[in-house]
Structure 1
Amino acid sequence: MKIIDLTHTISADMPVYPGTERPKLKAANTYENDGFKETLLTMFSHTGTHMDPPAHLFAHRTTLDSFPVEHFVGQGLVIDCSDLTEGQQITFKYIENVRSKADKADFILFYTGWDKYWGTNKYFGKYPYITYDVADYLIKSNKKGVGLDVIGIDPISDVNLSIHKKLFAENDIVVIENLTNLEKIGQEPFTFCALPLKFENSDGAPIRAIAMLN
């Protein structure tokens, strides 16, 4: 079995969503003073590679900690959209091209290649994003989740977060943002595992996402 890490490392100088503070990693205890090392982490719940639940946008919808743990593991499929350029849409044709595999998957992960801009201003620019038709498919096919290697499932200009709201209004689906290394997986189904930090009334959380290839 081959394991591929799909997670960006959390660091004090990492990219964060515009307007959000970067995480702080403060030495709380040191080898010299205390005989052991411990770090005080201070960060927003949507830092780095992270997961959004419906409660991210709707007050009385499902929080991340209330999802059953099996929701975070399932069959994944990477769909290659790396031919897209700035501001172009991930349309339903990308799913149609692999429809038989997509229908069987629990998680659809869109590979745009945008993670190569991680740490640059372009990462926050006009990245590719999914259409309403794609969102409709994810809902009707009862997917556990959708993921991308960009900072958001909506375009950066959409302050209303329209795609998020469409997915979350009535469905228990999760959105995974800021993935990386999707190009290493290939085009065949695989086991996807994305475990969020579990805290009470969670509106979202950093995750450790991995692909397990047979």
Structure 2
Amino acid sequence: MKIIDLTHFISEDMPVYPGTEQPKLKQANTYEKDGFKETLMTMYSHTGTHMDPPNHLFADRTTLDKFPVSQFVGKALVIDCKDLTEGDTITLDRIARYGKKAEDAEFLLFNLGWDKRWGTEDYYGDYPCINDDVVNFIIETGKKGVGLDVIGIDPIADEDLPIHKKLFREHEIVNIENLKDLDKCGDDLFWFFALPLKWENADGAPIRAVAFWE
């Protein structure tokens, strides 16, 4: 059995989406005073390695807690895009290289190598984004989800969020951002678990994402 953790740590100095406050991890109880340790965690629902449901953008669409847990588990494939540079576009030919594996995958995870910039100003750069043909492929092949090792599926400067909107307007799909170590997953299908915190009316949630091989 082989398991790889694809999740960034949550910390008070971690990267967050521009305009969002960083997490606060306050010591609420101590061994000395209370006989045990407990931490008060205050953070946004889209902190760190996290998942977006359709409700993130559309009030009448599905929240994370309304999905069956099976939505968060499935066969995944990593699409290698590490050779792309700032401002480039992820096109359909990237996916075509993997043939039928890309069609069979329930999750497509795009490896831009951007996780190596985590904790630096470069993480907020002009990372490559998927184009409309790739979005159409994801929708037409009925993926459970899409994931990337960057801070957003849309360009960081695009406040209109067109890729989010096209994915979420009518389709039951999740989007995962801020993954890490996708370069360790190889170029074949593997089991992928991306389990979000279970809270009511969830517009998003931090996840623990792992890759698993039997």
Q: Where on the TM-score scale, by shorter chain, does this alignment land: which range?
A: over 0.9
1:103 is aligned to 103
Q: CA deviation at 1:60?
A: 0.2
- Normalised by the size of structure 2, how large is the TM-score? 0.99
Q: CA deviation at 1:87?
A: 1.4
1:128 is aligned to 128
2:205 is aligned to 205
1:77 is aligned to 77
| Secondary structure of residue in 2 paired with 1:167 | helix
Residue pairs, 1:16-165, within 5 angstroms:
16-165=16-165
Paired amino acid for 2:105: A
Q: What are the superposed Cα offsets for residues 7-38 of structure 1, whole Å, 9 maximum, x if unpaired?
A: 00000110100110000000110111101000
Q: CA RMSD in A?
A: 0.6
Distance 1:71 1:23 in 2: 27
Paired amino acid for 1:163: I
Q: CA deviation at 1:128?
A: 1.2
Q: What are the superposed Cα offsets for residues 38-90 of structure 1, whole Å, 9 maximum, x if unpaired?
A: 00000000000000000000000000110000110000100100010001111
| Secondary structure of residue in 2 paired with 1:71 | helix
Stretches of structure 2 lacking an aligned partner (at least 5 in a row)? none
Identity of aligned residues (%): 68
Distance 1:200 1:101 in 2: 35
Paired amino acid for 1:167: L
Distance 1:96 1:152 in 2: 23
- Normalised by the size of structure 1, how large is the TM-score? 0.99
Size of the alignment, in residue pairs?
214
Paired amino acid for 2:179: L
Distance 2:25 2:38 in 1: 10
Paired amino acid for 2:5: D
Stretches of structure 1 lacking an aligned partner (at least 5 in a row)? none
> Which of structure 1's runs of 4+ aligned residues deviate more than 4 A?
none
1:169 is aligned to 169
Distance 1:99 1:148 in 2: 20
Distance 1:117 1:206 in 2: 20
Paired amino acid for 1:110: F
Distance 2:185 2:95 in 1: 17
Q: What are the superposed Cα offsets for residues 94-134 of structure 1, whole Å, 9 maximum, x if unpaired?
A: 11111210100100000010110001111111011111110
| Secondary structure of residue in 2 paired with 1:165 | helix
Distance 2:183 2:133 in 1: 24
Paired amino acid for 2:6: L
Distance 2:123 2:144 in 1: 26
Distance 1:108 1:136 in 2: 13
Q: CA deviation at 1:155?
A: 0.6
Is the counterpart of residue 194 in structure 1 residue 194 in structure 2?
yes
Paired amino acid for 1:194: A
Paired amino acid for 1:182: L
Distance 2:210 2:135 in 1: 23
Paired amino acid for 2:107: F
